[in-house]
């Protein structure tokens, strides 16, 4: 089966043979992929003219209602997506994060758009600034939708969520999108996308799909367009240096590698609830999606005095992990997305063992249940202990995108903060402690280097969503190595697809301009 693209309102199948996309479990091809022959300039043009204009005929709440309707529609068809998701190596639980998680983002933005955005296409930002002495000259910031197209380039690990978490704020803003999923798992993205088109909920031109490479698309972008990228730092660095991106100052937002950490507080000794919660969470982060999560805990920062106890507790739990066919409910960890990916993880572990030692697991051998270990991309969990926690240590610079994590011992809270921040900027860091002073020092110490900080203790354990899951209400992104971008985070994620403009003039004209849309809220001036 050749995956199709959806361009200028039609399904497009490339005439060339395409690259085979193997099933992560059997190695058999699930589909072939190629975008050869697509007219990328026409796609960009069609998005801007047909898609953008159609979307912006509606108001924020009307587009929010579309997102909710879409979420419901996709929810009705999710059994098909779950079936296909198994081929990516994902267990049912992994698929829940990807599929239900993605649909959940649509629901949240649907709700926020109705409740928190005005009935128009202009978003008023803050109060008027009174600049003239008599009040006849004022300034008012507004946000208006960009008139271009958003190009969404996604990573292989969340083929459904990755597409929907970018689309929800973008469509709500009134901007059309061209989605380019990572090739290896694009068959699941294509299936979800197909249902979106079938649903007929979104206006014509709102979304297009590239199954395959982006060709010369970047050459046709302008300053009204946005590129949202998720993937490796090296690809992000390459794409953001595209001459046209630089020349036209095109918005380029990246979510890249992140060597996230989780810190066990000095107070959280074995026997405390926080210690037990910590072991549970680290185990979860190593095994969910077989560690292929951008937010996964890569560095386990623990007090030196309890590092042996942590290794022992984690090793016991890891020995109970059942690696095997992801379609079976007894399986607790599925496969990596591809054999290539497994080779990639093995070579990253080879880099890590230069100055860290493996204390649990074996990258070459793993017992696999109900599947052929020679054909499937299986890899057992691997736990390391760092012998070099200094800035040059590989643990702070090497991302093994699989079920791999490293323990770093520390002696005092100041050192724990330093170790956390040596990741060079991360999506998320977590703190397990019940001591307010320790929490304060850790949280404020690591906050400048992290997009999100989870503080976990016995008081919030029942409702906590945990270290990994990125939530539509909260920032997903991080400084430095994490890409420097910001996605979701509630309404802020929508504003990313809009231009902030300062209107200046008399109160009447500023108010009139900002409220020109039918039903638009009034700027509260001179009251
Ligand atoms: P990748 O190899 O960098 O690919 C990412 C995306 O870029 C894919 O869609 C890929 O398409 C595309 N791409 C590659 N070269 C391109 C080019 N020249 N022009 C246009 N597009 C191009 O990363 P990956 O292996 O898919 O994902 C794994 C990485 O993503 C990990 O490092 C992980 O940390 C990171 N990640 C980060 C986040 C986050 O939110 N921060 C989330 C998930 C994953 P093809 O597949 O067709 O090559």
DSSP assignment of 300-351, as one string? EEEEGGGHHHHHHHHHHHHTT--BB-TTSTT-SB---S-HHHHHHHHHHHHH
* CA proximity to 510, closest of 135, 146, 57, 118: 135
Percent of the chain with pLDDT over 70: 97
Distance CA 49, CA 271 (A): 62
Q: Which atom of ligand 1 is nearest to the CA of 482?
A: 41
CB of residue 379 inside a 6 A radius of ligand 1:
no
pLDDT tens digit sequence for 43-53: 999 999 999 99
Contact by Cβ (8 Å): 405, 300: yes
Residue 349 CB-density burial (10 A; 0-12 exposed, 13-18 middle, 19+ buried): buried
Q: Is 282 left (phi over 0), alpha (psi -120 to 50) or beta?
A: alpha
**DSSP-derived 3-state class of residue 2:** strand
Give the model's pLDDT for residue 520: 42
Distance CA 146, CA 223 (A): 9
Q: Using the Cα atoms of residue 474, residue 480, residue 482 and residue 483 in order, give the sign of their dihedral.
A: positive
User: Cα-Cα-Cα-Cα dihedral of 127, 133, 134, 135, to 10°?
Assistant: -10
Residues 6+ apart with CB under 8 A from 518: 120
CB of residue 257 inside a 6 A radius of ligand 1:
yes
Give the model's pLDDT for residue 118: 92
CB of residue 232 inside a 6 A radius of ligand 1:
yes
* CA proximity to 323, closest of 361, 354, 349: 361
Distance CA 443, CA 388 (A): 24
Q: Are strands 226-230 and 498-505 parallel, antiparallel or unpaired?
A: unpaired
CA 43 to chain centre: 25
Distance CA 445, CA 421 (A): 9
Task: Reply yes or no on whether 294 is catalytic.
Answer: yes
Catalytic residue among 32, 190, 255, 441: 255
Q: What is the mean pLDDT of residues 215-221?
A: 98
Q: What is the mean pLDDT of residues 264-282?
A: 98
Give the model's pLDDT for residue 512: 67
Q: Is 284 left (phi over 0), alpha (psi -120 to 50) or beta?
A: alpha
Angle at 304 between CA 302 and CA 307, to 5 degrees: 65
pLDDT tens digit sequence for 305-336: 999 999 999 999 999 999 999 999 999 999 99
Query: Residue 522: which pLDDT band, with cuts at 50, 70 and 90?
Result: very low
CB of residue 398 inside a 6 A radius of ligand 1:
no
Query: Residue 458: which pLDDT band, with cuts at 50, 70 and 90?
Result: very high
pTM, two decimal places: 0.94
Residues 6+ apart with CB under 8 A from 495: 123, 143, 173
Catalytic residue among 32, 170, 294, 487: 294
Q: What is the mean pLDDT of residues 340-364?
A: 96
Q: Which atom of ligand 1 is nearest to the CA of 476?
A: 40
pLDDT tens digit sequence for 230-242: 999 899 999 999 9
User: Cα-Cα-Cα-Cα dihedral of 494, 499, 502, 504, to 10°?
Assistant: -120
CB of residue 214 inside a 6 A radius of ligand 1:
yes
CB of residue 185 inside a 6 A radius of ligand 1:
no
Residues 6+ apart with CB under 8 A from 258: 294, 295, 298, 399, 423, 425, 426, 427, 428, 478, 481, 482, 483
Residues 6+ apart with CB under 8 A from 429: 260, 261, 262, 263, 420, 446, 449, 450, 452, 453, 454
Q: Residue 149 C-alpha to ligand 1 middle, in angstroms?
A: 20
pLDDT at 361 over 90: yes
Residues 6+ apart with CB under 8 A from 200: none
Contact by Cβ (8 Å): 229, 484: no
* CA proximity to 278, closest of 478, 475, 464: 464
Query: Residue 524: which pLDDT band, with cuts at 50, 70 and 90?
Result: very low
pLDDT at 511 over 90: no
Q: Which atom of ligand 1 is nearest to the CA of 212?
A: 47
Give the model's pLDDT for residue 454: 98
Task: Reply yes or no on whether 441 is catalytic.
Answer: no
**DSSP-derived 3-state class of residue 71:** helix
DSSP conformation class of 231: S
pLDDT tens digit sequence for 156-194: 999 999 999 999 999 999 999 999 999 999 999 999 999
CB of residue 260 inside a 6 A radius of ligand 1:
no
Encoding tokens for residue 250? 């095109």
CB of residue 336 inside a 6 A radius of ligand 1:
no
Mutate to test the pocket of ligand 1, among 231, 343, 482 (most ligand atoms within 8 A of CB): 231
Residues 6+ apart with CB under 8 A from 324: 330, 331, 333, 334, 368, 369, 370, 371, 378
Query: Residue 133: which pLDDT band, with cuts at 50, 70 and 90?
Result: confident
Q: Residue 255 C-alpha to ligand 1 middle, in angstroms?
A: 9
Encoding tokens for residue 118? 């005005």
Percent of the chain with pLDDT over 90: 93
Q: What is the mean pLDDT of residues 145-155?
A: 97
Q: What is the mean pLDDT of residues 118-143?
A: 91
Most confident option among 118-122, 365-369, 434-438 = 434-438
Angle at 461 between CA 455 and CA 463, to 5 degrees: 105
Q: Using the Cα atoms of residue 380, residue 381, residue 385 and residue 389 in order, give the sign of their dihedral.
A: positive
Going by alpha carbons, the residue nearest to atom 28 of ligand 1 is 231
pLDDT tens digit sequence for 400-451: 999 999 999 999 999 999 999 999 999 999 999 999 999 999 999 999 999 9
Query: Which residue in the block uniquely carries the two structure tokens 């990639």?
Result: 344
């Amino acid at each position: 089966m050749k995956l199709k693209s959806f361009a200028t309102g039609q399904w497009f199948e490339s005439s060339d043979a395409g690259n085979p996309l193997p099933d992560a479990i059997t190695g058999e091809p699930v589909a072939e992929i190629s975008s050869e022959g697509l007219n990328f300039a026409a796609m960009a043009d069609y998005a801007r003219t047909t898609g953008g204009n159609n979307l912006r005929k509606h108001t924020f709440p009307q587009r929010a209602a579309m997102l909710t309707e879409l979420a419901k529609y996709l929810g009705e068809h999710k059994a098909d997506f779950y079936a296909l998701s198994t081929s990516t190596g994902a267990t049912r639980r992994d698929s829940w994060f990807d599929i239900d998680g993605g649909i959940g983002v649509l629901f949240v933005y649907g709700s926020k758009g109705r409740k928190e955005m005005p009935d128009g296409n202009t978003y008023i930002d803050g109060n008027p600034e009174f600049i003239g002495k008599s009040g006849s000259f004022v300034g008012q910031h507004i946000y208006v939708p960009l008139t271009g197209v958003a190009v969404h380039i996604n990573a292989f690990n969340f083929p459904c969520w990755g597409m929907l978490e970018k689309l929800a704020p973008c469509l709500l803003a009134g901007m059309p999108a061209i989605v380019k999923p990572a090739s290896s798992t694009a068959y699941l993205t294509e299936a979800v996308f197909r249902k979106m088109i079938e649903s007929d909920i979104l206006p014509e031109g709102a979304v297009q799909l590239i199954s395959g490479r982006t060709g010369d698309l970047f050459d046709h972008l302008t300053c009204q367009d946005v590129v949202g990228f998720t993937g490796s730092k090296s690809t992000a660095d390459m794409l953001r240096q595209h001459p046209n991106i630089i020349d036209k100052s095109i918005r380029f937002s990246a979510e890249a590698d992140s060597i996230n950490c989780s810190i066990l507080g000095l107070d959280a000794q074995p026997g405390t609830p926080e210690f037990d919660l910590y072991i549970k969470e680290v185990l979860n982060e190593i095994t969910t999606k077989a560690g292929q999560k951008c937010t996964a805990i890569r560095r386990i920062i623990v007090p030196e005095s309890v590092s042996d106890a942590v290794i022992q507790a984690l090793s016991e739990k890891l020995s109970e992990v059942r690696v095997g066919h992801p379609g079976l409910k007894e399986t607790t960890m599925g496969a990596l997305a591809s054999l290539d990916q497994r080779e990639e993880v093995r070579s990253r572990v080879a880099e890590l063992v230069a100055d860290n030692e493996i204390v649990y697991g074996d990258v070459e051998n793993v017992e696999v249940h109900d599947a052929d270990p020679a054909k499937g991309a299986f890899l057992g969990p691997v736990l390391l202990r760092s012998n070099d926690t200094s800035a040059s240590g590989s643990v702070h610079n090497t991302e093994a995108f699989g079920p791999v994590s490293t323990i770093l011992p520390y002696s005092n809270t100041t050192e724990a903060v330093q170790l956390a921040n040596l990741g060079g900027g991360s999506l998320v860091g977590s703190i397990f402690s019940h001591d307010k002073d320790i929490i304060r020092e850790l949280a404020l110490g690591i906050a400048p280097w992290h997009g999100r900080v989870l503080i976990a203790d016995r008081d919030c354990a029942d409702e906590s969503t945990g270290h990994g899951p990125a939530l539509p209400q909260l920032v997903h992104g991080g400084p430095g190595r994490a890409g420097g971008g910001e996605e979701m985070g509630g309404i802020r994620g929508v504003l990313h697809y809009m231009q902030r403009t300062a209107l200046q003039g008399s109160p009447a004209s500023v108010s009139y301009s900002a409220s020109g849309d039918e039903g638009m809220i009034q700027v509260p001036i001179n009251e």
